[in-house]
Amino acid sequence: MSATPLDKLHDATGTDPEAVEHGATTKSVYVYEAPVRAWHWVNALAITVLAVTGYFIGQPLPTMPGEASDHFVMGYIRFAHFASAYLLTIGLLGRIYWAFVGNHHARELFTLPVFSPAYWKEVVTMLKWYAFLIPQPSQYVGHNPMARLAMFCGYFLFSIFMICTGFAMYGEGLGVGSWADHLFGWVIPLFGQSQDVHTWHRLGMWGMVIFVTLHVYAAIREDIMGRQSIVSTMISGYRTFKK
C-alpha cells in the first residue's frame, strides 16, 4: 500500500498538511537535568514565601484583638521566612554543586563570557527582540545571552546579597557567638549599623520582586513569540524549536 501524499493528508485525516510538516521538522534537545528543574521550582516557592513574609515583617499586620498570648501570627510569619531562607540557601549551595557535576548548561547561571564579542553581540540582538525592534530572535539551546546576564546579575548576585544581609540580622537574634554571627557578623559593621542592613535587605527584596516579574514576563513572551520553548522546558527538561 503506497504512502499517503502530504497534500492529501488533510482529506484523509482531517489534519492540516502544514501542521504535519511542521511537526516532522520540530526537534528537541535535552537541556535541563532533573536536579536543575527541581531546584528551579523549589527556589521559586522559597522566593515567593520570602517576599510575602518579608513584607509583613517590615510592615506588620494591624493589632490583633484579644490577649497577645492568644496569637502567634508574627511568630508563624517569621518562622516561614526563616525556613524559606534556609531552603533558598541550601538550594543555592546544591545548585552550585550541580554546576560542577551536571551538564554544561548547568554552569550557565554562574559564568558569563564577558570577554567574548560574539556574546555581547547576541545580548544586543536579544535587547532588540525584547524592545520589538526585530521580527524574531536567534535560536539558543540553553539560556539566551540576555537571560544569562539577567540570571547572573538579577538572581545569583542578588541572592548572595540577600543571604548575607538576611543571616547577619538572623545572627542578631541568635546572639553573639552563634554560627550566624560568626559567618555573617561582619556584614552589619560593613553597612554601618543594624537598621542600615534592614533597609538594604528590604530594598533587595523589591529588587528581587522586580527581577521575578520581568523573568516571568520574558519566559511567557518567549514561549509565545520566540523560536523555542521556555516554560515547558523547565518542566520536561527538553527544549523544542519552532521552524
For residue 165, give the CATH number of its domain.
Answer: 1.20.950.20
Write the DSSP string, 16-56: -HHHHHHHHH--EEE-S-HHHHHHHHHHHHHHHHHHHHHHH
State in Å, rounded, how far the first CA of the chain is from the last one.
31
| Cα–Cα distance for residue pair 87/111, rounded to 1 Å | 23
Question: What φ, ψ does residue 66 adopt, rounded to 5°?
Answer: 90, -165
In a domain, 6, yes or no: no
| Cα–Cα distance for residue pair 48/54, rounded to 1 Å | 10
DSSP type of residue 72? -
Q: State the pLDDT at residue 15.
A: 43
Q: Write out the residue range of the structural domain in which residue 58 sits.
A: 39-62+73-240
Q: State the pLDDT at residue 26.
A: 53
In a domain, 1, yes or no: no
In a domain, 223, yes or no: yes
In a domain, 50, yes or no: yes
In a domain, 79, yes or no: yes
In a domain, 17, yes or no: no
In a domain, 9, yes or no: no
Q: Give per-residue burial for 85-118: e unless 16+ CB within 10 Å, then b.
A: bebbbebbeebeebbeebeebbebbeebeeeeee
| Residues of the chain falling short of pLDDT 70 | 1-26, 68-69, 243
Number of domains the chain is built from? 1
The whole-model pTM stands at 0.83
In a domain, 179, yes or no: yes
Q: State the pLDDT at residue 68.
A: 67
